[in-house]
Structure 1
Amino acid sequence: MKMSIATTPFGRRPMTLGHLATQLAASEIDEEARASKWQVFRDIREAKEALGATDRALAILNALLSFHRAEELTAEASLIVFPSNEQLSRRANGMPQSTLRRHLANLVTTGLVIRRDSPNGKRFARKGQGGAIDQAYGFDLSPILARAEEFKALAAAVQEERKALRLAKERLTICRRDVVKMIEAGINEGVPGNWQGFLGRYEAIVARLPRTAARPTIEAICNELEDLWIDVHQTLESFINSQNPNANESHSERHKHNSNPNVSSTDESEHGLEEIDEASGVGAKTDNVRALPSRDLPLGMVVDACPELLTLARDGQIRTWRDFVAAAEQARPFMGISPSAWQEAVEVMGPEKAAVTVAAILQRSDRIASRGGYLRNLTERARDEKFSVWPMIMALLREKLDAQAKAVGSNRKAGADPAEGDRGSTVEISAALRKNMKKKGWER
């Protein structure tokens, strides 16, 4: 069977050396070559950017391949398809013919198909004896078969590049997260170091990162961030190694929690008022915490004693201990309590008692200079079984009862109805608890 050997396009379309090179490559197909047309199409689609093919051009190529009846492309069979523009438009989901012609030119330019134009530019085929095609004019799919291995290699390279880009982005994300959080830990924990300098370096590095970056750019940024990571990590590691694990409590508090150089541990102790010691249960009268009630505090009593926490609760309500703990976690950063201080309190006391302690500190925050240092102090006392949350809550309730009693007394002197003075009270305690508070000296 003798096929058409037309090499130049019809009409005003110019002939280029690229077109001729594509035809020469297609003419050198091995006689035994064969390839699945849809597998080659998937490879072409994967490597479309490297080939310079457009999305719509691939939609047209998909339609052209559908006009080739066999599943495989072989050198023995005719690889010229000759659909009209109207037929192509229908199989390309109704693409306008002006758009169709433009993207057909893209397929020819990228060397994916070859034009085999008839003398008048029409696409058709002549059949010989027996119905076999003797001569055809249209689009030659030979380049797809001739370059099947090239497309496969290109698709594999594109997949590797995509994987490398994804890994580089993951590496960048981890580097940025580690550096930022280690700098925050150093600042929050009061570790000596040039943290502003580290933060400036980080911002300068990240500022050079474009919105859409190529893999080499991302890897260069990652290398600089990893150098910064090493410097920050070494600063934290050196501080940890320099700490004496046998140091006394005041030494540990001075290094870990006093991030403000203008406030000494002596200043903090001077701000520790008598009421605070009484509320924390560390005074002489409540030194034996084993004599305190062993049962858990009722949630309602704790909320009545610490109403300030309600301002940070979701919807302004606390219905369960889970809500209470969540509200305490919300209050922690506003109080200047570091994550490590909170975590240590949770590990030693449990989440509920740690939350009660934070709520009580929040309630008396105006009388506590360093809330984070005070929480750590109470945590250490709880570790030694010298601290209980009961005295804190009882002292806060006593203060509230005293304030209400004074308000009622003032109303009586002013001639107000005593019932009106008690109507706003939210603290309800049993007679047995009131008797116990009097016995312990918690209620006057």
Structure 2
Amino acid sequence: MAEAILEARQHISFPSLPQGMERDGFVALIDAVAPLLGVRSAALATFRTMIGATRPSAFKSGEEEPCCYLAQSEIAKKRKVSPSRIRADEVQLVAAGLIEKRTMGNGARSGFVGCGVYFSVAIKRCQEFLALREGIEEGRQQHAKLRGLRSIHKKHLKSCLAELIAEHGLAAEVQDIADAFEAWPSADKLHRMSLEELEAHVAEADALCTAALDLLQAMSETHGGPHENERSYIQDTTQDFNEVPCNASVDQQSAGKPAPSNVEDAAPSGAPSCREEKAGAGDAEHKSKILTNIPIQTFIPLASEEMRFYLDARRLGRGGWSSLHLHDFTVAALCRLPELGINRSAWDDAVRKMGVEGATWCVFILDAKAGDPDTPIVSPGGYLRAMTRRHEEGTLNIVGGLIGLSMRQNAE
């Protein structure tokens, strides 16, 4: 009879971790999802102590069931807490579905009789926990993206307000915008906002920034100032780009060819004497040197379909393409970053070194080239970093890159 029972146990298959996951990786997974399961830090520390007393191989083979046979007093000694603390933690872990307690009538635990704390109940939920962690990571990335958008809104609005006040004083409309801006939460407070709260605030910040830019444009037109997005005469796209103030020559033969995918050759080259290259983060953030000389309508056909989607969404209800500002292109570029697989640090580095406008047009250019079937960009993030290095070296020619897009589009 005993031999039959032993043989039956040998054929039992226990839950095991997904292929490639080790015990420590499983513990890290539980760490990540614990807040969603209602597990506090103290109980999580007890869970780690108990699972650390098991054999790592038991989580992978399926031939044995991972179990901690330590008594509560022993776990308490390892944790340097009272046994009552361990009892409370175990209640919490059982309720969260992370452990199952199988003890003798007096609560004793022993490996000889198979009594202890088992982890199969948590192992069975591994796919559920993986999905939860993925959702947490997506939420974290979305939160970071929204904070980045708020940063851009703040840069452009602060710059725009300074010009509004300098040119038109504290008119009623300007004062209203300034008061609303002063009420914005600090950057530190953004981190403590829920995703829903942050989304609502960023939408309001975007609307306020756009209102300020529209007001500045309207006041400039009323007082006879230049319209950033209008020109009296346009012959063709290539001429528009060639008229951008720049003393450096552009290689017209290579400008229309697709850029190589090698990131070291990613950015179009050009002499550093272009006025645009001297533009840095210290200039008025909301102004665009390029859009001052080239009408916005020129850029729309050059943008990727995905970029046009974001630009089109922003122009709806605002009087057509000419109502867009540099701000809209920057927001569209930020929306494209995760879709292109570009790490946020690459964008932040580009903004620090070449200003918001420079970073915006770099993303615009690489985004338009990313889908080229002949020479696709293998690493958009590496491409952007290469463009940033070219800027530091004084060889980045953004206008040349835009000319290349224009000539390629005309050739198609």
Shorter-chain TM-score range: 0.3 to 0.5
> What TM-score results when the alignment is normalised by the length of structure 1?
0.43
**Which has the bigger relative contact order, CA under 8 A and spacing at least 6?**
2
TM-score, scaled to structure 2: 0.46
Larger Rg: 1
